[in-house]
Amino acid sequence: MMRATQKIITFLVCLLFLTSIFTLVSAEEPVYTIEDNNSNITIKSGEKIIISLVHGLPYIWELYSYEPSVLKLIDEGGWVHGDNPGSQATHNWTFEGNNEGNTTLSFIYWDTWDIESIHDVFTLHINTVGDSSISTFWKMIIVVSIIIVVPTIVIKKWIIGGEGK
């Protein structure tokens, strides 16, 4: 009985080790700010990016144009205000590469009181390419298979297979 307990504990430690190795850790999305204005970037289809632009009232950044077949808006995020009234706020947008192609992502910085007063423009030239690596779905399938198949083999060999073998 003691030997079976040791085998189960060894099995659980191995399982924990395997899951820590094969756990999919998603990389954080790259963040682009005003310093990246007029940059050229390449992303993979399915890859996410964040645009983070700071503004002060009465001025705001507004999404102006992009090609939705190439780049998909995932989240407009809203504004994150500073602690003090009238302080600057940050607006975050999250986009995802949709299909292969090129687009220019544009934002305008304008005065909400004067509709014809564009004070600045932020552009990012984006080339979206196909994802040639294994997709996240298939990585998950591989990890789940390992988590299920390896323990099954170990259990059959160690516990069901008998003590003397």
Same domain (yes/no): 85, 147: no
C-alpha–C-alpha distance, residues 58 and 110, integer Å: 8
SS3 assignment, position 83: coil
Same domain (yes/no): 56, 112: yes
Per the model's pLDDT, the better-predicted residue between 110 and 158 turns out to be 110
The overall average pLDDT reported for the chain is 79
Same domain (yes/no): 61, 129: yes
Which of 126, 127, 104, 108 shows the shortest CA–CA distance to 118? 108
Give the tens place of pLDDT for each residue, 61-102: 999 999 999 999 999 877 666 666 666 888 999 999 999 999
The predicted model scores a pTM of: 0.64
Same domain (yes/no): 70, 2: no
Same domain (yes/no): 17, 48: no
As for how many domains the chain has, the answer is 2
SS3 assignment, position 60: strand
**pLDDT of 165 strictly over 50:** no
C-alpha–C-alpha distance, residues 141 and 2, integer Å: 35
Residue 92 domain boundaries:
33-133
Same domain (yes/no): 144, 124: no
Same domain (yes/no): 51, 100: yes
Same domain (yes/no): 73, 147: no
Which of 99, 103, 35, 32 shows the shortest CA–CA distance to 64? 103
C-alpha–C-alpha distance, residues 9 and 74, integer Å: 44
SS3 assignment, position 78: coil
